[in-house]
């Protein structure tokens, strides 16, 4: 089993990992020899901030309160990764923890995959329908995503294909993009695949965003699918994005992150209750860095997943509550899917979520004829398509409002409150708070702008 080892080495080692101006120590320099673990020497150690209560009388062990995150050498920890033999795995983990006082946690590093649709139903409408439903109200207010960094964390982007389908050139911000070690190819030139579809579906809403290409899912080990990736690479990607965000002045700070992937099976994870479990545990390193990035100012969106009861993807392995891990994190917007007739698609995962009960948060459009990434007649489908459509809406709003003007949590609240109620009255586990309603959202954003301007 692959594992992530969270360590607290000497302060000077932590400082060297945190400091971007010096060469990052190798995994062996950080961890030395870990008995029973085959350490991955190619994985660059990642710093993890320490969550702390905002208020002096807060509970230092609780994540259910306002938090700040510290990367000071005396607070931060460092992640390395490796593989432990499955045979006697529990005994090996217990022995390792007892022998090394600098190990503060061992977590699962489950495989993650993209979330394509099930079935072979034809498209319902096309991307021009989505533009009319979602984009017109935004354009009337001048909200087009201009200059907003929008990270597509997926299988990479193909600019030539996007430009051909959209009818005008598309660029990526290569200087601020990131890829895992060992992934070959240039930013914006990866094969047409799931990541290109996601980029397209965000651009039809917010045409002027600054795309960041983050092909985490191309970091595949030999396995059963071509899209398999590792959660530890997503941690590295998020650490990179966090560094970019922290460099921005708060009055101009903004970044949107679209994630159309997730964990499908509990067998890929430690069991619930284990301190290293990912699916149900907010203290897992990836779930912690999601929280830290959101506090820093990122708007993070995750697809709810394709394990709806009517038409689940064949890989779904959770017997219930399939929205798990970061896809159900309280600090992200979890996105369900509806077709262009406002009907929930049968494969869209229903709540409650595992990290936060009220998941999904909202729904938006999918299963339309769009990018043609998978062929001329294949729809952009799954909550994989709905998530970047919603990310485009968020990026459009951010073109006029920075984090200082409107925090990510307040923006999520505006999106929920302005949503068009669907399904059962009020919140329900099929549609969340409802379908994204951009005319109502624009009204709410306009009021925020007036309030910020003062009398």
Where does the chain hold its CATH 3.40.50.200 domain(s)? 111-451
Dihedral of the alpha carbons of 412, 417, 421, 423, in degrees to the nearest 10: 50
Residues 6+ apart with CB under 8 A from 392: 134, 145, 150, 201, 202, 203, 204, 205, 206, 209
161, 194, 284, 367: the catalytic one is 194
Q: Examine the residue annotation and report whether 331 is marked as an active-site residue of this protein.
A: no
Q: What is the pLDDT of residue 224?
A: 42
Q: Examine the residue annotation and report whether 194 is marked as an active-site residue of this protein.
A: yes
Q: What is the pLDDT of residue 87?
A: 67
Residues 67-101 pLDDT 10s:
999 999 999 999 999 888 766 667 777 777 777 88
Q: Examine the residue annotation and report whether 219 is marked as an active-site residue of this protein.
A: no
Closest CA to 102 of 151, 29, 51: 29
109, 144, 154, 405: the catalytic one is 154
Q: What is the pLDDT of residue 455?
A: 58
Q: What is the pLDDT of residue 454?
A: 63
Q: What is the pTM of this model?
A: 0.89
Contact 73, 18 (CB under 8 A): yes
Q: What is the pLDDT of residue 63?
A: 87
202, 236, 381, 384: the catalytic one is 384
Looking at the domain covering 111-451, what would its CATH class be? alpha beta
DSSP E strands in 222-283: the ranges are: 229-230, 255-259, 261-262
Segment-wise mean pLDDT, segments of 10 residues, the chain, 455 residues: 90 92 91 86 92 90 89 93 76 77 87 65 92 91 95 97 96 97 94 97 97 91 49 93 95 97 87 89 94 97 94 89 96 96 92 97 96 93 96 97 96 97 89 96 89 69
């Amino acid at each position: 089993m692959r594992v992530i080892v969270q360590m607290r080495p000497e302060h000077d080692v932590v400082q060297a990992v945190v400091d971007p101006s010096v060469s990052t120590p190798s995994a062996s320099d950080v961890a030395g020899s870990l008995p029973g673990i085959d350490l991955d020497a190619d994985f660059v150690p990642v710093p993890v901030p320490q969550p702390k209560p905002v208020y002096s009388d807060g509970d230092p062990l609780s994540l259910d309160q306002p938090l700040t995150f510290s990367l000071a050498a005396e607070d931060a920890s460092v992640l390395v990764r490796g593989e432990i033999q499955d045979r006697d795995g529990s005994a090996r983990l217990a022995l390792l923890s007892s022998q090394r006082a600098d190990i503060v946690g061992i977590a699962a590093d489950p495989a993650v995959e993209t979330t394509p649709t099930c079935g072979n139903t034809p498209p319902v409408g096309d991307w021009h329908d989505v533009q009319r439903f979602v984009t017109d109200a935004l354009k009337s207010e001048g909200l087009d995503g201009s200059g907003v960094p929008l990270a597509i964390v997926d299988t990479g982007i193909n600019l030539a294909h996007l430009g051909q389908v959209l009818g005008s050139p598309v660029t990526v911000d290569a200087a601020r993009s990131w890829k895992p070690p060992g992934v070959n190819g240039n930013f914006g030139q990866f094969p047409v695949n799931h990541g290109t579809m996601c980029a397209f579906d965000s651009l039809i809403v917010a045409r002027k965003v600054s795309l960041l290409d983050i092909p985490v899912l191309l970091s595949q080990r030999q396995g059963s699918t071509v899209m398999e990736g590792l959660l530890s690479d997503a941690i590295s990607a998020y650490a990179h994005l966090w560094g970019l965000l922290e460099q921005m002045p708060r009055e101009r700070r903004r970044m949107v992150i679209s994630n159309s992937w997730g964990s499908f099976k509990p067998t890929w994870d430690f069991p619930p209750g284990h301190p290293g479990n990912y699916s149900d545990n907010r203290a897992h390193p990836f779930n912690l860095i999601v929280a830290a990035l959101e506090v820093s100012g990122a708007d993070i969106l995750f697809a709810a997943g394709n394990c709806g009861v009517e038409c689940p993807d064949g890989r779904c392995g959770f017997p219930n509550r399939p929205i798990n891990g970061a896809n159900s994190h309280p600090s992200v917007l979890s996105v369900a899917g509806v077709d262009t007739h406002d009907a929930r698609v049968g494969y869209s995962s229903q709540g409650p979520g595992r990290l936060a009960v009220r998941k999904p948060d909202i729904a938006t459009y999918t299963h339309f004829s769009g990018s043609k990434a998978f062929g001329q007649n294949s729809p952009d489908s799954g909550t994989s398509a709905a998530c970047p459509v919603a990310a485009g809406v968020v990026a459009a709003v951010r073109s006029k409002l920075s984090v200082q003007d409107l925090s990510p949590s307040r923006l999520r609240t505006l999106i929920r409150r302005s949503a068009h109620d669907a399904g059962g009255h009020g919140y329900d586990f099929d549609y969340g708070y409802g379908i994204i309603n951009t005319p109502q959202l624009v009204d709410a954003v306009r009021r925020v702008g007036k309030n910020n301007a003062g009398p």
